Every structure is written in C-alpha cells, then in structure tokens.
C-alpha cells in the first residue's frame, strides 16, 4: 500500500469504485471516464508503480491480471473481441502510477491508437 496512491485507496475501499471482479490478488472496477461501452481497469492489489518497474518476481501477479482481464471481458459480453492497454510511464500516457490494464470493448476499435 502506497499512502498517496489512488488505486491503493480503491483497493482499501477508502475511495468508492464500481467493482466488477475481485480475487485475492486482483481487483477490477469501471473506469470513471469510460472511453468505450466496456471500460474496466484491472489492477494488482499490491502496489506496483508501472510495468517498467515490474521485476521477474511479478510474473505471477501479472499473469493473474491478464487472466482477470479475460474473465472481465467475458462477463461484459465482449470476450471474443476487446483491447487490453497498459499505458506505461508518462510517455506511454500513464497518469495513475499503480499498474493497471484497461479492458476496452463494445465498439469497433481502430488502430493505430492516439
Ligand atoms: P492511465 O492514463 O494511467 O492509463 O489510466 C488511468 C485511468 O484511471 C484513466 O482512464 C482515468 O479515467 C481513471 N481514473 C482516474 N481516477 C479514477 C477514479 O478515481 N476512479 C476510477 N474508477 N477511475 C479513475
Ligand atoms: Zn498503489
């Protein structure tokens, strides 16, 4: 837990969120500013600043985040077609520095991203 971390505070239920999926290690909740009909954030419950800061020991929880994203997409009815985004670092568009995967779906998604 990082005291000044927004997503750690959501994990601790200090800040409310629309939680859609939870396990011992992973939490998923709706993005406050959805960019698609389905827009859910999947996070490890333990604080990890970004993918750039991940170590080889984080592989287990990162795998759990990926599989949770699969389950969230299925539960949202977009399991056959969705996008998983992990913005990393300021140049990667990351604004909240607790690693999270965006699950986006429910509309046609274009490429390349902005
Ligand atoms: P990033 O830009 O770091 O990849 O994504 C951060 C995401 O967190 C953004 O899509 C933003 O809308 C979302 N977000 C920021 N503050 C909150 C909040 O308090 N609650 C929820 N549910 N999402 C938030
Ligand atoms: Zn955190």
The domain spans of the chain are: 6-105
State the pLDDT at residue 8: 98
Residue 85 pLDDT grade (very low, low, confident, very high; cuts 50, 70, 90):
very high
Give the long-range contacts of residues 23-32, CB within 8 A, separation 24 or more: 23/64, 23/68, 25/61, 25/64, 26/61, 26/64, 26/65, 26/68, 28/68, 28/69, 28/72, 28/103, 31/102
Residue 108 pLDDT grade (very low, low, confident, very high; cuts 50, 70, 90):
very high
State mean pLDDT over 69-94.
98
Query: In this model, does residue 1 exceed pLDDT 80?
Result: no
Half-sphere exposure of 7 (CA within 13 A, CB side): 24
Pocket test for ligand 1, best of 35, 96, 98 (most atoms within 8 A of CB): 96
CATH 3.30.428.10 fits 6-105, yes or no: yes
Pocket test for ligand 1, best of 4, 5, 33, 40 (most atoms within 8 A of CB): 33
**Ligand 1: does its nearest atom lie under 6 Å from the Cβ of 16?**
no
Strand order in the sheet with 19-22: 19-22, 26-30, 38-44, 101-105, 83-85
pLDDT, averaged across the chain: 97
Residue 2 pLDDT grade (very low, low, confident, very high; cuts 50, 70, 90):
confident
């Amino acid at each position: 837990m990082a005291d000044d971390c927004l997503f750690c505070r959501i994990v601790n239920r200090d800040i409310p969120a629309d939680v859609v999926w939870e396990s011992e290690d992973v939490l998923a909740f709706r993005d406050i500013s959805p960019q698609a009909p389905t827009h859910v954030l999947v996070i490890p419950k333990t604080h990890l600043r970004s993918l750039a800061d991940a170590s080889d020991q984080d592989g287990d929880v990162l795998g759990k985040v990926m599989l949770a994203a699969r389950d969230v997409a299925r539960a949202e009815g977009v399991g056959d077609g969705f996008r998983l985004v992990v913005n990393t670092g300021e140049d990667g568009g990351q604004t909240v520095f607790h690693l999270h995967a965006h699950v986006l779906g429910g509309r046609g998604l274009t490429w390349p991203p902005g």
